[in-house]
Amino acid sequence: MTDSAATGRLPFVLPRLGIGTAPLGGLFEPVGEEEAAAALKAATDAGITYFDTAPRYGHGLAEQRLGRLLAPSGGTAPVISTKTGWLLRPRPDGSPGEVITDWTERGIRESLEASLTRLGRSSVDILYLHDPDDYPDEIRRTAYPAVRRLRDEGLIRAIGFGMNHSGPLASYVAEFEVDVVLIAGRFSLLDHEALTTLLPLCATTGTAVVVGGVFNTGLLADPSPGAMFNYRPVPARALERARQCRALCEEYAVPLPAAAIQFPLLHPAVDSVVLGCRSAAEVAANAAAARFPVPDELWQRLAGAGFVPEQLLG
């Protein structure tokens, strides 16, 4: 898996594989400082140079850990993306408090400034407007103009939108000049929602696409009855489909995670896949899966079973 060239609206190369840091912020279960440091070291050792984070990941903890623990690899600074639109309001004792939405220019700037402080950086490569599904008027009036100005000022290099639903995300791409989008969970072996509108639109506009949630919250990493599917306990039908997908992969001695990670990159509009990892072992396993050879015949079999859209194999 090689990096793509800088194309479309992005002024830099977006690595094909990135690390999502929600688990390092304690998503689902706490992660200790040593474990987080080992995970980030494993990522840089594996040649991974893209890291995605957000203030909401552990109430700033994920950003703080990136700032403390992530060093440039080989003298080249990594690609960093963070998010905005939500402000952290700690309690008087300094412990995490509430998270409030704020799409005003002042709120956007305050959010970014706090992120830069936690990250120990003077700028970031990508700033995503985070989960703006229900705020189109606010995005139009204040938030998007604000991030345009931040880009003009050099505090960010690219404007993005990060969401879990492809329909609203496509609407933003159609209305605004968007450099990059992050779509989570809607383009996987089990969910092709992004294929109908978002991906063709991004191909037309030159908007880069980052895909997260390729395991659909864990089911495609380990199809077991206790797995999560889109942040909820797995339904019986989804478990059955995931096990069918795994069985097809096993016929070709391909680990299911390898097919899950590499599937989104079959679409020409997809530039990068971001994987949430909480340990060095997970980082190493996912990096190996991203490189694992997947034969064309397996993709054809998966297409025949409905896991891969036929149009991606033309």
Q: Which of 50, 57, 144, 172 is catalytic?
A: 57
Q: Is 252 a catalytic residue?
A: no
Non-local CB neighbours of 282 within 8 Å, separated by 6+ positions: 39
What does the alpha-carbon distance between residue 282 and residue 145 come to, in Å, rounded to a whole number? 39
- Cα angle 98-131-287, degrees, rounded to a multiple of 5: 100
Q: Active-site residues: which are they?
A: 57
